[in-house]
Chain A
Amino acid sequence: MTTEDAVTAESTTADLFVSSVRARRIVRAERFANATELVGVWLLALLWIAPLAYVFWAAFRRTEVALTFQPFTGWTFDNIITVWSMAPFGRFYYNTVVLVVGLSAGQIILGCLAAYAFTRYRFPLHNIMFTLVLLQLMIFPEVLLGENFRLVARLGLADTLRGIGLPYLASAFFIFLLRQTFKSVPIELVEAAEVEGAGRLEILWKVYIPIARPTLIAFGLVSISFHWNNFLWPLVITQSVEARPITVGIYRFLSPEIGINFTALTAGTVITVLPLLALFIVAQRAFIQNFLRAGIK
């Protein structure tokens, strides 16, 4: 053993001692920080979910006990039944579901085609067209509601489901997002498919779309939620009960024009959100995972 080695060994022991003291201090600080964070995150989560939980509680309580805390008596379905019988909610639900399914499918199909063209090909006016897509990230149809109303009315689609959906059939956000995903597709995969004789659409279907699946799922769910909740444009473009989606249909029961009836208000809220909420609770894990994997940054 040389002296150099001995010195190294000695200093290592000293280091170990120092670092063990420090390590213990770090562990203690770490534990304290962990506890604080845990308390903080639970408080935040409870605060965020409490309003909704409270509505679900109140919607199933008799009016006279709705504002008290007596968990063993006073449960009822009457609020839901009363509000349900006051308007054709079956029709509203049907309209919303048709609208949401149609729009999500349409946006995904048109978006895949457009994003594929923007990613793989240079074509005349490529950059101008893509700049227009980027500009439309900001301009939603409801921002131009006066002129879009005139346009849709001139097409003879006022007060129809198609009239509600048509302006949203293509999503600039989705095209932009999907183009970012498509860009990450390895060129080797595309070339391999070409060697095997795959056509251009076949390459989109067999190479690009499987890789973009997380983006498609995440966007699909965001789109469902957006159109289930959309209110202003459907309010403007529809007049009759037959064409109204749930948000516009329920609006009458939620606005205070008819006087505040607390239980009717909460029951109406439950009717509006329940199907969407059920979908998200079922798809929650898949949604968050796909959202994180889709790399929407």
Chain B
Amino acid sequence: MKTSFEPAAADPAEGVTRGVTPGGDPLARRSFLAPLRRIPNGVFAWALILPAMVILLGFSVVPMITTVWASLQEPGIGTSIGPANYERMVNDPVFLQSLRNNLLFSLVTVPVSLAIAMLMAVLVDREIRARGFLRMALFTPAMLPVIAAAAIFLAFYQPNFGLINVIAQSIGVPRQNWLGNPDTVLPSLMVVMIWKEAGFFMLFYLAGLQTISPELNEASTLEGTGRWTHFRRVTFPLLMPTTLFTSIVGVANSFKQVDFIFVMTQGGPNNASNLLLYNIYLQAFPNRNPDYAAAMTVVLVSILVALAVIQIRMFDRRIHYR
């Protein structure tokens, strides 16, 4: 029975050498938590993770299973099971367009915001005047509500009084209805996303830069290596783990973040700015088509889980090489 009183199961010899007995330990007797010490480690650990696991499983694993189940329901009255929702999906031009839009959206916004974020981080990492202000200015958009950021840009993109048209006209570009034109609406949303995300990723790159040994910097200075060469040969490769991490987070965000569509375009014109999760929302709630929405959710979750698997592999490798 003695092992159940050991604080750490990892080293059974340790408790023996100390000869701790629950009754003989004065501190244990004084603490109101003393009865807890009789609980074996395994049970204790499970009690600690249980509340978090109930929430995590309850609101992601369980709904994931019920989503798959819902997606297999055949339309109409009765309880038949079949791939009807999936057949409908592959022939649904709106779904296909939202998927295509989303892939394009991710493909552009993630690399661009990561590149800008890395540039920002390198620029504000060094000791310069007003560094605090500069960091804050770059980071502030990242903590704004997306719908507020969307409202700001909605005003800027206005065809009549919008700031962007005023600037465009002054440099000789004709006025545009940026959000009303199917060709310009998605790029216009990409700009908002990049503006929002770059400052957030900058923080991760700043954290990554702290781990690079300052001696490498000094060595480059002594060797007379140019800034660009130093960045290309030293900083960039050493930031690679950060880049892997932020790119996964960035891709996930580009699939999860659709708030600005509600404010700016409602998916229009002509579904040109419809993204996957927004389309799922439309089908699930305003269109009252939850089973069809569930089938599309399965596609979205598959994309995200594939990303998660890549991420786990990536962390495994980092741990092995350490």
**Hey, which bits of chain A sit against chain B, CB under 8 A?**
22, 25-26, 29, 33, 37-38, 40-42, 44-46, 48-49, 51-52, 54-55, 58, 67, 110-111, 113-114, 116-118, 120-124, 126, 129, 131-151, 166-170, 172, 175, 190-191, 194-203, 225, 228-229, 231-232, 235-236, 247, 250-251, 254-256, 260, 262, 265-266, 268-269, 272-273, 276-277, 280-281, 284-285, 288, 291-292, 294-297
Name, among B63, B262, B281, B301, the residue most crowded by chain A CB atoms within 10 Å (CB to CB).
Answer: B63
A203 to B120, CA, bound (A): 40
A134 to B49, CA, bound (A): 14
**B258 / chain A contacts, CB cutoff of 8 Å:** 232
A142 to B74, CA, bound (A): 25
Q: Do B59 and A151 touch across chains, with their CB atoms under 8 A apart? A: yes
**A197 / chain B contacts, CB cutoff of 8 Å:** 20, 25-28
Q: Do A138 and B308 touch across chains, with their CB atoms under 8 A apart? A: yes
Q: Do A141 and B60 touch across chains, with their CB atoms under 8 A apart? A: yes
Task: Given A40-B123, A288-B135, verify A146-B143 contact (CB < 8 Å).
Answer: no
B13: interface (CB < 8 Å): no
Type the 1/0 row for B66-99, where 1 means its CB is closer than 8 Å to any CB of A. Answer: 1100100000000000000000000000000000
B44: interface (CB < 8 Å): yes
B37: interface (CB < 8 Å): yes
Q: Do B259 and A232 touch across chains, with their CB atoms under 8 A apart? A: yes
Name, among A26, A121, A142, A144, the residue most crowded by chain B CB atoms within 10 Å (CB to CB).
Answer: A144
Q: Do B259 and A41 touch across chains, with their CB atoms under 8 A apart? A: no
A151 to B297, CA, bound (A): 16
Q: Do B33 and A277 touch across chains, with their CB atoms under 8 A apart? A: no
B36: contacting residue among A67, A168, A200, A254, CB under 8 A = A200
**A131 / chain B contacts, CB cutoff of 8 Å:** 312
Nearest residue in A to B68 (C-beta to C-beta)?
A147
Q: Which 7 A-B pairs have the closest CB atoms?
A: A197-B27, A147-B63, A170-B55, A117-B48, A229-B145, A121-B45, A167-B59
**B55 / chain A contacts, CB cutoff of 8 Å:** 110, 166-167, 169-170
B53: interface (CB < 8 Å): yes
B170: interface (CB < 8 Å): no
B150: interface (CB < 8 Å): yes
Given A126-B45, A269-B152, output 9 extra A-B contacts at Cβ < 8 Å: A22-B224, A52-B140, A55-B155, A58-B155, A146-B67, A151-B58, A194-B14, A288-B203, A292-B207
Q: Do B60 and A136 touch across chains, with their CB atoms under 8 A apart? A: yes
B107: interface (CB < 8 Å): no
Q: Do A52 and B263 touch across chains, with their CB atoms under 8 A apart? A: no
**B128 / chain A contacts, CB cutoff of 8 Å:** 38, 41
Q: Do B41 and A121 touch across chains, with their CB atoms under 8 A apart? A: yes
Q: Do B161 and A262 touch across chains, with their CB atoms under 8 A apart? A: yes
Q: Do B163 and A54 touch across chains, with their CB atoms under 8 A apart? A: yes
- State the Cβ distance, B170 to closest chain A Cβ, in Å: 14
A138 to B304, CA, bound (A): 6
Could you list 22 examples of A-B contacts with CB < 8 Å?
Answer: A40-B123, A46-B137, A51-B141, A67-B161, A117-B48, A132-B56, A138-B304, A145-B281, A147-B294, A170-B55, A194-B8, A197-B20, A197-B25, A199-B36, A203-B7, A232-B277, A254-B154, A256-B263, A266-B151, A266-B155, A272-B147, A297-B208
**A280 / chain B contacts, CB cutoff of 8 Å:** 136, 140, 143
Name, among B27, B52, B266, the residue most crowded by chain A CB atoms within 10 Å (CB to CB).
Answer: B52
**B263 / chain A contacts, CB cutoff of 8 Å:** 251, 254-256
- State the Cβ distance, B123 to closest chain A Cβ, in Å: 4
Secondary structure dominating the interface of B: helix
A-B contact number at CB 8 A:
311
Q: Do B284 and A145 touch across chains, with their CB atoms under 8 A apart? A: yes
Which B residues from 158 to 205 make CB contacts under 8 A with A?
A: 158, 161, 163, 195, 198-199, 203-204
B1: interface (CB < 8 Å): no
A168 to B62, CA, bound (A): 15
Q: Do B9 and A48 touch across chains, with their CB atoms under 8 A apart? A: no
A297 to B53, CA, bound (A): 25
**B213 / chain A contacts, CB cutoff of 8 Å:** none
Task: Given A113-B52, A143-B297, A292-B206, verify A273-B27 contact (CB < 8 Å).
Answer: no
A49: contacting residue among B46, B140, B161, CB under 8 A = B140
A124 to B46, CA, bound (A): 8
A167 to B64, CA, bound (A): 13
B269: interface (CB < 8 Å): no
Task: Given A228-B145, A254-B151, verify A295-B52 contact (CB < 8 Å).
Answer: no
**B112 / chain A contacts, CB cutoff of 8 Å:** none
- State the Cβ distance, B197 to closest chain A Cβ, in Å: 12
Q: Do B207 and A291 touch across chains, with their CB atoms under 8 A apart? A: yes
